[in-house]
Amino acid sequence: MEQRLVNLYNQQAMFCYGNVEWSHKIHEKAADLFTTVNSWLRWIQLILAFIISADIIKQFGTDSPVISGILIGCSLILTLINTITKSFDFNGRASRHIMTANALWDLREDYRSFKYDIQA
């Protein structure tokens, strides 16, 4: 009877260990995704801001409506990206996922210790 209980506890600990490890990996991947999105958006913001504020195209003395349209499009895209980054806070979300992943890692180690204690 005691061996049966030990096996049952061991199976339950392994199941929980697997769930915690899976959740840990998911939070790590989510943090990586938010960090990557934030990095890309920052670079796009930088490039668009340079195009708009430097006004390089106007230095050549052209008053083409196509160039004005491109600058207006860049301004609209930059405004949209600024709104997205202010609304969603990708860095904050990434740091929260990292904190959760670290907490799950500690729980994973506790399950591992518990599993070895059961087997001993």
Amino acid at 14: M
Residue labelled with tokens 């195209």: 57
Q: Return the pLDDT at 74.
A: 82
Q: Return the pLDDT at 99.
A: 94
Q: Return the pLDDT at 118.
A: 75
Q: Return the pLDDT at 112.
A: 83
Q: Return the pLDDT at 58.
A: 66
pTM: 0.72
Q: Return the pLDDT at 8.
A: 84
Q: Return the pLDDT at 59.
A: 62
Q: Which regions of the chain are under pLDDT 70? A: 1, 54-62, 120
Q: Return the pLDDT at 25.
A: 93
Q: Return the pLDDT at 61.
A: 62
